[in-house]
Amino acid sequence: MAVLMFAVPSRHLADVVAALVKATLPERLQVLDAVDLATRIRVTLPLLLRHIQRLKDVREAAGDETNDKENQIVKISRGGRNLSPDPELDDDGEDGIAEFETKIKEANMPDEARKAALKELGRLKRMAPHMPEYSMTRNYLELMVDLPWSAMVKETCNISKARADMDADHYGMEKVKRRVLEYLAVRQLRGDLKGPILCFVGPPGVGKTSIAKSIATTLGRPYQRISLGGISDQHDIRGHRRTYIGAMPGRVIQALRNVKAKNPVLLLDEVDKLGTGIHGDPGAALLEVLDPEQNFAFTDTYLGLPFDLSQVLFVATANTLSSIPTPLMDRMEVIHVPGYTQEEKIMIGQLHLLPKQLREHGLTPDIMHVPPESIAIVIGEYTREAGVRTLERKIGALCRAVAVQVAEARPEDQAIGDEGVKADMVVAEAEEKGDGTQQGEPHKEGGPTAGEHSYHQSPLINLTHLKEYLDLPVQVDAKMIHDVLGPPIFQSGLSGRVSVPGVAVGLAWTPVGGEVMVVEASHTGGDGGLTLTGQLGSVMQESAKIALSWVRQHSFLIGLEKDFMKDGEIHMHFPAGAISKDGPSAGVTILTVLVSLLSQRCVRPDVAMTGEITLNGVVLPVGGIKEKVMAAHRAGLTTLVLPAANKKDLADIPNSVLNEIEVVLVNTVEEVLQAAFDEGFSEMFDNDKDGESVSKSPMSKL
């Protein structure tokens, strides 16, 4: 209006004001009736003054309303306490403050923590609920009163019961169970034992996590799992500063808050999957947590106070040790959890996996029967793993197929209505109470024995009527397995691949168990060099160079010319080129491939080998022997060439496996070649000064 009044000519000013202000129709007509300009202005002026007064009244009313709301939100007394009468605007009020005071007294905090809590409570009293610091202080106080500063669970340790529980929950794994029982026995004799931090290392699906659960169950302690996979920020372990928006305590403090006890069993799962980033190294942050000389005063950044972690029993799991920092590994006792043998997988499938899947799919042994031979087919043709997770999924697929048959075979006229369902459920509950049994929930690698499983049949299934339309129990045989699971995924085709010169079978170790590795080589035209493909590491490339140097040095023993490589080059390939490979254990395999290619002789198709070689032809020991032997056994290989220095590792291999394979222990590459080829290389041993070899008296069927 002001801009318009200055912009229009003075003779039109009265007309513009009369048009803009709020006025009645007679008042506007009175302005129009005034012909003289001065008269028109005198008539318009009262209208303008009245409009200005009305605007002032509106502004004052709005200001009073704002002040009333502010006074209602926070009314501060002389003592500074919130006295707002509106309960919706007061999160705590007198009751909330008193509740915090009571919890602080009952928490039995150390003096330092109690003083800090009371100080924060005093700050909370002086704050308004709408202030940003209010919620931060309140969350901090809730954490302090929730932490188990002195709350402990009474430990119950019965070694006999622990042994029985572990035998029921885990089939095999004798070395692992023996070490856990030793640990528990020492704890029972010395209650103040801080003890080592156990780290279970092994392939996926072998029962590492369930062992930690069994330890917690045996000790009667609460159990909490902390997943460390993919963590690359140290603040996830130590906590964030409270000044940050959304700050939280570290995962260790959060776990203690959840279990409400000072002495739980905390599982640090996948400790080998820790990463590093721009926010620090979480592995370094774990050093203080796991060090028994320091963790009695662990200070979380968010909490800002020392907290005693010395009563916590830490258990860690990992798939490999290569990615765990050395200082962190030094604080843990490593217990290797090996993969399962074929026989162990069959027993686990019969005793634990099959009963669990039957319960989950509403079936019983009276409806579905899976003999051990069928489980062996599933293991051999559809799973090739160290654990049993894939086996459980395949058994679940078979159970679903049987469930479809049962549902299709049940005629519609036999369907039970709601009343019948309720009646059957009541009868089932009464039978269960009278029997006194409870449904267990064993881990997939563990659980009650076969005779202890209880099955809860679906109330919609009437076995008497179902037998009229379906042959029960449904027998899961090889034909049904192939129909449900499809063509076999894994088939042994090594014999066809090794039946040509320049091919040999090696053994490799991976974080998920042992693997069989076929190495191929061909002689092509070129400048006389050695080409390696298959994404090999530097150590593996050096092993190939060492093998080639040995062949050149001993070419006369193989019947080769001294300059046999002048007219061409050798191309050696390691299949599965998308997977990185490294390590010295392929040395004997590479050398055997070179000798096979250059001599045009085929390697025995049933032989696999592993071992490191030197320039002088000495075979050195390697690691992962058990995993490699198990992989060769799964692949159907019957003869293994191993370094003689690895003889001690054969004690860890089950006799059921050793009885089906022939282990040849060697000290030199000459002995490797003698075992790898049908007729051997007699000229090598004719020049051998010792005149005797381990290969001549192999450890057959150990």
Q: Is 696 annotated as ligand-binding? A: no
Output the furthest CA–CA distance in the chain (Å, rounded): 142
Catalytic residue among 177, 262, 356, 628: 628
Catalytically annotated residue among 585, 596, 693, 695: 585
Cα 468 from chain centroid?
47
Measured CA distances, 314 to 165, 198, 331, 460 (Å): 20, 7, 11, 46
Q: Is 203 annotated as a binding residue?
A: yes
DSSP 96-131: HHHHHHHHHHHTT--HHHHHHHHHHHHHHHTS-TTS
Tokens of 66: 């704002």
Burial class of residue 319 in the structure, from the number of CB atoms within 10 Å of its CB (0-12 exposed, 13-18 middle, 19+ buried): buried
Q: Does 229 appear as a known binding residue?
A: no
Q: Residue type for 596, please?
A: S
Q: State the amino acid at position 535 in one-letter form.
A: Q
Is 600 within 8 Å of 557 (Cβ atoms)?
Answer: no
Q: Is 208 annotated as a binding residue?
A: yes
What secondary structure does DSSP assign to 544-587, as a single string?
HHHHHHHHHHTHHHHT--TTTTTT-EEEEE-S-TTS-B--STTH
Asked whether residue 467 is marked as a ligand-binding residue, the answer is: no
What three-state secondary structure class fits 489? coil
C-alpha to C-alpha distances, 241 to 113, 114, 118, 236, nearest whole angstrom: 17, 20, 20, 11
Could you give the 3-state DSSP secondary structure of residue 513?
strand
Sign of dihedral through CA atoms 487, 488, 490, 494? Answer: negative
Cβ atoms of 410 and 455 within 8 Å: the answer is: no
- Give me the half-sphere count of Cα atoms (radius 13 Å) on the Cβ side of residue 70: 6
| Separation of alpha carbons 466 and 69, rounded Å | 73
Strand partners, 620: 612
628 catalytically annotated: yes
Exposed, middle or buried by CB within 10 Å (0-12, 13-18, 19+), for 134?
Answer: middle
Q: How many helices (H) and strands (E) does the chain have?
A: 29, 19
What amino acid is encoded at 461 in this protein?
I
The first and second tokens of residue 348, run together, are: 């686990």
Residue 301 marked in a binding site: no
Whether residue 356 lies in the annotated active site: no
Q: Where are the alpha helices (DSSP H) in 413-493?
A: 418-435, 463-466, 478-485
Q: Are strands 619-620 and 639-643 parallel, antiparallel or unpaired?
A: unpaired
Q: According to the annotation, is 204 in a ligand binding site?
A: yes
Strand-pair partners of 509: 514
Supply φ then ψ for residue 665, to 5 degrees: -95, 130
Q: Check if the beta carbon of residue 663 is closer than 8 Å to that of residue 694.
A: no
Active centre residues (catalytic): 585, 628
User: Residue positions in the annotated binding site for ATP?
Assistant: 202-209
User: Residue positions in the annotated binding site?
Assistant: 202-209
